[in-house]
Structures are given as structure tokens and as C-alpha cells.
Amino acid sequence: MADIRVKFKKIFIYLAIACCNGTGDVLLKRGMENLGEIHLNHWTHIFNAFIDPWVLLGICFLAGFFYSYLTALSWADLTFVLPATAFGYVVTAFLSRVFLHETVSPWRWAGVLLITCGVGLVARGPSLTERHTKDATLSKDSALAKDTTLSKDPSLAKDAALSKEQHELA
């Protein structure tokens, strides 16, 4: 049951990454349409964006994306998480078409489909690289020596089993 919850949480985080990223970008674009073009000779005009509700909402969604992204990076490799974030391109293209009324050419849709297929390939692999360290080798050697000692003295084996059981319960 716990394994199902962990898998559900991971799927939820990946969906949050894709949806928050795409939605945040579209909301920023919508807010910047209200603001108009920003020219280098009037660069301070950019600060007006921070009072636009669409831009502020977009920033909130992008903050949600960043939180989800950091969460995913805490338990998966970058080479797994980064391509998985590319699914946000699908969300961005779809929302741009529907919400911003942008024309998305067949070539762009083909590119989005190609990205989605690439995400599928990456998702099939392991999400975390197993690391083999020198400490792991040393702990295996010490465990082997301990097992050899315990097999010679049965009373030590009984004490070790009791200690292990108490540790697992704690």
C-alpha cells in the first residue's frame, strides 16, 4: 500500500511540474501582452509587470513549478527529471492555442510530439543511479566478519538478533 502512495506522489509531482511550468509561462505572456513592448531605453517599464495580476499569478505558478522541480530532484537524477519537465511544452502549446489564441503550426505540433516521445523514452529508464562507494564495501566486509563471529558463538547470535529486532522497532 505504501508503494502505491509513493508512486502516486511521484506522478503527482511530475504532473505538477508540467502543469505549473506551462501554465505559469502562458500567464506571464498574457500579463506581458497587457503591458506592451519593453524597450531598452525605457527598461524601468518592466517593474510595472509586478503589479499586473496575470504576471503575479504566473509567478505563483512558476514558484509551484520550482517547488515541484526541487522535490523531484531530491529523489531522482537530473538526467531523469529534466527531460520529464519537457512535457510542459505540451501544456504550453495547448494553453497558448486555447487561452492566448496563438497559431500553432503543424511543425510545432510535430516538435511537441517528438519531445513527448523523448520523454517517454527517458521515463522508461531508472530514475536514480545506484552509487557504489568504498564505505558500502567496508560495511559489507565488516558484516561478513560479524557473521563469522556470530556463527562460532550461538549466544552472541541470539543477542545480535534481539538487538536487531529492537532497532527495527524503534
* pLDDT at residue 87, rounded to an integer: 83
> Do both 148 and 88 map to the same domain?
no
What does 114-129 look like in DSSP terms, one character per residue? HHHHHHHHHHTS-SS-
- Does residue 128 lie in a domain region? no
- Does residue 143 lie in a domain region? yes
- Does residue 116 lie in a domain region? yes
> Do both 51 and 95 map to the same domain?
yes
> Do both 16 and 44 map to the same domain?
yes
Mean pLDDT of the chain: 79
Looking at per-residue pLDDT, the higher value among 106 and 41 belongs to 106
What percent of the chain has pLDDT above 90?
36
82 band by pLDDT with thresholds 50, 70 and 90 = confident
> Do both 72 and 138 map to the same domain?
no
> Do both 117 and 143 map to the same domain?
no
Find the mean pLDDT for residues 8-24. Answer: 89
> Do both 61 and 143 map to the same domain?
no
> Do both 157 and 110 map to the same domain?
no
> Do both 161 and 103 map to the same domain?
no
Domain hosting 59: range is: 2-123
- Does residue 129 lie in a domain region? no
- Does residue 58 lie in a domain region? yes
- The stretches of 36-153 forming alpha helices (DSSP H) are 53-75, 78-85, 88-98, 106-123, 134-152
Buried-state track 24-56, b at ≥16 Cβ within 10 A, e below 16? bbbbbbbbbeeeeeeeeeeeeeeeebeebebbe
Q: How many domains is the chain partitioned into structurally?
A: 2
Q: Please check the confidence at residue 9 and state whether its pLDDT lies above 90.
A: no
Give the tens place of pLDDT for each residue, 30-61.
999 988 888 888 888 888 888 999 999 999 99
What does 41-57 look like in DSSP terms, one character per residue? GGGGGGGGGGG-HHHHH
> Do both 95 and 38 map to the same domain?
yes
Q: Which of 39-43, 123-127, 132-136, 143-147 has the lowest mean pLDDT?
A: 143-147
Looking at per-residue pLDDT, the higher value among 154 and 100 belongs to 100
> Do both 68 and 116 map to the same domain?
yes
95 band by pLDDT with thresholds 50, 70 and 90 = very high
> Do both 13 and 56 map to the same domain?
yes
Looking at per-residue pLDDT, the higher value among 72 and 121 belongs to 72
Find the mean pLDDT for residues 63-85. Answer: 88
What separation in angstroms does the CA of 34 have from each of 31, 40, 57, 130, 150?
5, 18, 14, 49, 75
